Chains A and B, each alone.
Chain A
Amino acid sequence: AQTVTQSQPEMSVQEAETVTLSCTYDTSENNYYLFWYKQPPSRQMILVIRQEAYKQQNATENRFSVNFQKAAKSFSLKISDSQLGDTAMYFCAFMKRSMDSNYQLIWGAGTKLIIKP
């Protein structure tokens, strides 16, 4: 069963606008980790931002911030002052404890973000 859901297959905004990418996940655990990764056309996967579930404060990295709503199991990514270089696929990922007690990243299907000049 899909554990991480990204409901927006594709989005496009004008340069300098703010855009929010949505992500929801399913878990019964209380402590876990959430990530946003970016995949530009070069196909290199790059970490954008991460959030630890026990931290109530939303993570921020420069123009990137998250809105983490633990009760709603929602983890959206906000990109402010969007730039052409932000054009990429964005993947939400959830660190899940597997059956053998190891941790595995479970990935959403991705959102293609296009920044228009």
Chain B
Amino acid sequence: DADVTQTPRNRITKTGKRIMLECSQTKGHDRMYWYRQDPGLGLRLIYYSFDVKDINKGEISDGYSVSRQAQAKFSLSLESAIPNQTALYFCATSDLFPHDEQFFGPGTRLTVL
């Protein structure tokens, strides 16, 4: 079974709709991240959380919000989706140290029409 899971895997929605992407992990890591991947731009950090009570904005947090419901769960919301939020979204987890590997979920491909 996958250590980091994301739901849904694919989603098509319309402009103005509220969307929630969910991430769950069984690795027991405290640190979780949401990234966005666009062609030619690599990955960009949206939000990250170092424990249940800690939420931090990343490079591109505008238009997004997150919720850390438990150590194992970290959700990303788009309150009012817009077409330029069409992208591939990844959740990742890591252990305590900066050099620790980040483990990624399979990604959610989101299309906003």
Contacts and interface: CB of A to CB of B under 8 A. Distances in A.
Interface string A16-41: 00000000000000000101000000
Interface string A30-71: 000101000000111111001010000000000000000000
A104 B99 contact: no
A7 B107 CA distance: 25
Contact of B90 (A33, A45, A102): A45
Nearest to A4: B42
A77 to B, nearest CB: 15
B99 A109 contact: no
A95 interface: yes
B102 A105 contact: yes
Contacts, number: 50
A103 B101 CA distance: 13
A95 B42 contact: no
Nearest to B33: A105
B58 interface: yes
B98 A103 contact: yes
B42 A91 contact: yes
Interface string B45-63: 1001010000010110000
B1 to A, nearest CB: 14
A75 interface: no
B106 to A, nearest CB: 6
B66 to A, nearest CB: 15
Interface in A85-100: 91, 93, 95, 97, 100
A4 B99 CA distance: 17
Nearest to A46: B104
B76 to A, nearest CB: 17
A47 B106 contact: no
Interface in B59-113: 59, 88, 90, 92, 98-99, 101-102, 104, 106-107
8 contacts: A4-B42, A35-B101, A43-B88, A45-B92, A52-B99, A102-B48, A104-B48, A107-B42
Given A104-B58, A108-B42, 8 more contacts: A4-B42, A43-B88, A45-B43, A45-B92, A104-B48, A105-B43, A107-B43, A110-B42
